Amino acid sequence: MKIYLAPMEGLADVHLRQLIAQTGGYDMVFTEFIRVVDQLLPEHVFLRQAPELENQGYTRCRTPVRVQLLGNHPEALASNANRACEMGSHGIDLNFGCPSKTVNASKGGAILLKEPETIYRVVKNVREQMPANQPLSAKMRLGFDDESTMWECAQAISEAGANEIIVHARTRSQGYKPPAYWHKAEDFEQTLQIPLTINGEIWTPDDAKRATTEANCQSLMLGRGAIRNPFLAQEIKNTERTAALWTDIAPLILEFWDSIVGSMSPRYCSGRLKQWLSYLRESYVQAEDLFSVIRKSTEVEDITTLLKREIEEV
Ligand SMILES: Cc1cc2nc3c(=O)[nH]c(=O)nc-3n(C[C@H](O)[C@H](O)[C@H](O)COP(=O)(O)O)c2cc1C
């Protein structure tokens, strides 16, 4: 079984990627999308989104990192894919699933599911121009408004030469609302003859089993499930392992805080921590308590003191 950490813009940044990857079980982590319009982006843009490129494209604990690109311009995507690979990305992922209205308005993300021929051109051009030894994956939803173009898009991706297909098993209009329709991809791997990774609504080892069984594949991608429980990949792969306890999670929070305080502007730190806690509290009542304790604080020093007091007691 292969497990990927999903690209999550504004959430799974380098700090969370490092922490989640170090819990073990992840075969690869994906960066937040890098938006490509019609230009080759400067290296600093790649380094901002993927500082791991300075470490040969690995997290601190040596999990490979794959850069995700979003756009519709075949030439510009190909030149940026090449640059990302030269800088150390482990393959490239193309985003055909982003539901954001702004992104879709500029013909990026899920809107391209309405245009399988554009998907074909983009994938083909990127595949032909990027290094042959680097894998290309494409991440799609089941469709835009409905599933009417699902097969055409999936076929465009495989016929254009992508090496892997990742399916977030919902249409764009279904947003992030449960359920995810894993079984809709059940014939993908056999028909397309490329490996399928299934994604969407995998919160527990049991979900992982059902998702891969229903989608007929050996590979899955964890998104919000990994944010709520960073140890989820371990728990899926190692059936002996019991669910992570708060005592496993709490030290990660302190580590996360040190990491963001060490590298981010102080005005963003409290927001980032509260954002993660708002996911963790879905799984851990202690995260809810911690959230209430720091809720009114915005100053780094205050939060550091509160966190130490609350977490070091654990
Ligand atoms: C905050 C957030 C940001 C996301 N950003 C991206 C992104 O940059 N690229 C992408 O392909 N998908 C993005 N996604 C979608 C996820 O990769 C994933 O497909 C989706 O969350 C479904 O998986 P899940 O149910 O396990 O979370 C994002 C999702 C969330 C919640």
Q: Hey, whose CA ends up nearest to atom 26 of ligand 1?
A: 223
- 36 with 171, same domain: the answer is yes
- 222 with 261, same domain: the answer is no
Residue 314 clears pLDDT 70, i.e. is over it:
no
State the average pLDDT for the chain. Answer: 97
Residue 68 clears pLDDT 70, i.e. is over it:
yes
Output the pLDDT for position 239: 84
Q: What share of the chain is helix, strand, coil (3-state, %, to 5)?
A: 50, 15, 35
- 164 with 255, same domain: the answer is no
Q: pLDDT tens for residues 155-184?
A: 999 999 999 999 999 999 999 999 999 999
Residue 53 clears pLDDT 80, i.e. is over it:
yes
Residue to mutate (ligand 1; options 95, 168, 172; most atoms within 8 A of CB): 168
Q: Is the CB of residue 29 less than 8 Å from the CB of residue 66?
A: yes
Q: Where are the alpha helices (DSSP H) in the chain?
A: 14-22, 43-49, 74-87, 101-105, 116-129, 150-159, 188-192, 205-215, 224-228, 232-237, 246-263, 266-280, 285-294, 300-312
Output the pLDDT for position 203: 98
- 106 with 67, same domain: the answer is yes
Instruction: Please say which residue of 237, 265, 299 terminates a domain.
Output: 237
CA dihedral 93, 98, 104, 108 (to 10 degrees): 0
Give the residue numbers spanning the domain of 183: 2-237
Q: Count structural domains, the chain.
A: 2
Could you give the CA distance from residue 249 to residue 220 in angstroms, rounded to a whole number? 23
Output the pLDDT for position 5: 98
Q: pLDDT tens for residues 208-256?
A: 999 999 999 999 999 999 999 999 999 999 988 889 999 999 999 999 9
Instruction: Please say which residue of 217, 237, 257 terminates a domain.
Output: 237
Residue to mutate (ligand 1; options 3, 4, 5, 8; most atoms within 8 A of CB): 8
Domain CATH number, residue 59: 3.20.20.70
Give 314 Cα–ligand 1 centroid separation in angstroms.
32
Task: Please give the positions annotated as active site.
Answer: 98
Q: Hey, whose CA ends up nearest to atom 6 of ligand 1?
A: 8
Instruction: Name residue 34's beta-bridge partners.
Output: 69
What integer is the mean pLDDT of 255-263? Answer: 96
Instruction: Please say which residue of 185, 219, 237 terminates a domain.
Output: 237
Q: How far separated are the first and last CA of the chain, in Å rounded?
A: 34
Q: Which residues line ligand 1 (CB under 6 A)?
A: 6-11, 32-33, 68, 95, 97-98, 139, 168, 199-202, 222-225
Residue 98 clears pLDDT 90, i.e. is over it:
yes
Q: How confident is the model at residue 206 (pLDDT cuts 50, 70, 90)?
A: very high
Q: pLDDT tens for residues 104-124?
A: 999 999 999 999 999 999 999
Output the pLDDT for position 264: 94
